[in-house]
Amino acid sequence: MGKVYDALRKAEEQRARRVNEVTAGGAAPVMPDPAPAPPVATHAEPALPSPGQVPAPAPAPRPQPVAKPGLLARLLRRQTTPPVDSAVDFNKRRIALLQPESYVAEQFRTLRARIDSIAATNPIRTLGVTSSRAGEGKTLSSISLAIVSSMNVGRRVLLVDCDLRLPTVDKTLGLRPDAGLAEVLAGDASAEDAIQRLEGTELDVLPVRGIPSNPAELLASERMAKLLEELAGRYDRVILDLPCTLGLPDAKTVSELCDGVVFVVRAETTNEDEVAAAIEVLDRRRILGVVLNGAEHNEPYGPYAQIAR
C-alpha cells in the first residue's frame, strides 16, 4: 500500500514540475484544443445499390476494450485474499517434533532453560504464548516449546489450544479429538475426555474441536479459571497457545490466569507500534521474554527462531 501511495505522490510531483516548466518566464500554459463536437445523427434513408451491384458488407463492430481494475484495486484484492497453508509451512510448526536435534529445537531448549531459571524463584505452572497479529509464529512457538519441555525426564507437560476462533494445534499435530476445550468449558465433556497423548511423545494436548458461538465469554468464565487451576495441579507445566492480542479480548483474558507470557515477533514483519500496543494490553510485567521468529542465521537448517530476553 505504501508503495502505491509513493508512486501516486511522485507522479503528482512530476506533473506539477512539468506545469511549472511551461509557465516559467511568464509564458501562458498551452491549453489543449477543445474536443470536436460529436456529429449529429441523421435519419436519411440508406442508398440502394444499382441493379447488378453487390452491396458491400457492413463493417464488423469494433470490440469495446474491457476496463481493467486499477493497480490499487488489484493490490487491495490481493491483500484480502487469505494465504493458503503449504506443506512446508505446516511442517515448520512441527519442526521440534520432526527434527528434535535441529538448530531450531535447540533454540527452544534454550527458551525452556531460561523459563526454568525464572521458575526457580517464581513458580511458573501456566505459561501463555501469544503475538500481536496472526502469522508471526505463536503456534510454532507453543508447539515447539511444549515438545521440548515434555522431553525432560519425569516432567508432565500439557499443551492447551486456547484459540477458540481459529484453532490449528489439532490439525498441525494430526489429532482427531472427540471433545475439546469448548466442550469442557460448556460442561459437555470432562478434561479427561478431551486430553490426548501425542503419539511418540510424553506430551498431552487439550485441543479445540468445536468452534463455539461465544468464545470470549467461555474464556472469561469461572469454569476456565477453575480448569487452569486444576490442570496446574496435575501437570508440571501447562503451555497455552493463546489467540493474537490485538483486536480481540481473548488473549488478555486468559493471560491474566497465567503465571507468565512469552511474546512472539517475526523478523522484518512485525510492526513495532503494534508490539508496543500489544505489550501494554497484556501488561509488560507478565512478559517473561520474546521469541524472535524468522531470524536469519548461518546454521544449515534455515531461519526459524531465536530467543531474546
pLDDT digits (tens, 9 = 90+) for 12-22: 565 455 445 54
Q: Rounded distance, CA 289 to CA 301, Å? A: 24
**Closest listed residue to residue 162, CA positions, set 137, 133, 129:** 129
β-pairing, 203-206 with 157-161?
parallel
Report the CATH number that the domain containing residue 114 is assigned in CATH. 3.40.50.300
Which pLDDT value is given to residue 16? 56
- When the pLDDT of each residue in the chain is averaged and rounded to a whole number, the result is 77
Q: Rounded distance, CA 164 to CA 211, Å? A: 6
Number of other CB atoms surrounding residue 307 within 10 Å: 20
Task: List, edge to edge, every strand of the sheet that includes 203-206.
Answer: 196-197, 203-206, 157-161, 237-241, 126-131, 260-266, 287-293, 305-308
Region 106-120 average pLDDT: 93
> Hey, is 255 helix, strand or coil?
helix
* 98 within a domain of the structure (yes/no): no
Residue 134, CB-side half-sphere exposure with 13 Å CA sphere: 10
Which pLDDT value is given to residue 294? 84
* 6 within a domain of the structure (yes/no): no
* 267 within a domain of the structure (yes/no): yes
pLDDT digits (tens, 9 = 90+) for 242-297: 999 999 999 999 999 999 999 999 998 999 999 999 999 999 999 999 999 887 76
Q: Cα 227 to chain center, whole Å?
A: 28
**% of residues, the chain, pLDDT over 90:** 58
- Place 177 in a pLDDT band, splitting at 50, 70 and 90: very high
* 295 within a domain of the structure (yes/no): yes
**Cβ–Cβ under 8 Å, residues 281 and 274:** no
Compare 76 and 283 and report the one with higher pLDDT. Answer: 283
pLDDT digits (tens, 9 = 90+) for 152-161: 989 999 999 9
- Residue 274 CB-density burial (10 A; 0-12 exposed, 13-18 middle, 19+ buried): middle
Residue 162 above 90 pLDDT? yes
Region 54-73 average pLDDT: 50
* 58 within a domain of the structure (yes/no): no
Kindly state the cell numbers that stand for 147: 515438545
* 193 within a domain of the structure (yes/no): yes
Q: How many helices (H) and strands (E) does the chain have?
A: 13, 8
- Taking the whole predicted model, whether its pTM rises above 0.85 is answered as no
Which pLDDT value is given to residue 37? 44
* 117 within a domain of the structure (yes/no): yes
pLDDT digits (tens, 9 = 90+) for 218-242: 999 999 999 999 999 999 999 999 9
**Cβ–Cβ under 8 Å, residues 93 and 137:** no
Q: In total, how many domains does the chain have?
A: 1
Residue 29 above 50 pLDDT? no
Residue 184 above 70 pLDDT? yes
* 18 within a domain of the structure (yes/no): no
Kindly state the cell numbers that stand for 131: 503475538
**Closest listed residue to residue 267, CA positions, set 159, 137, 166, 113:** 137
- Place 62 in a pLDDT band, splitting at 50, 70 and 90: low
Residue 44 above 50 pLDDT? no
What is the domain range of residue 200? Answer: 108-308
Q: Which of 86-100, 164-178, 211-225 has the lowest mean pLDDT?
A: 86-100
Q: Rounded distance, CA 45 to CA 131, Å? A: 76
Q: Rounded distance, CA 196 to CA 143, Å? A: 14
Which pLDDT value is given to residue 104? 79
Which pLDDT value is given to residue 50? 54
Kindly state the cell numbers that stand for 245: 492480542
Q: Which of 51-55, 117-121, 219-223 has the lowest mean pLDDT?
A: 51-55
Which residue intervals of the chain are DSSP H helices? Answer: 2-23, 71-80, 87-92, 95-98, 103-119, 138-150, 169-173, 181-185, 191-194, 215-219, 222-234, 250-255, 272-282
Query: What is the 3-state composition of the chain as percent helix, strand, coil, each rounded to the nearest 5?
Result: 40, 15, 45
Q: Rounded distance, CA 132 to CA 261, Å? A: 13
Which DSSP state fits 242? P
**% of residues, the chain, pLDDT over 70:** 63
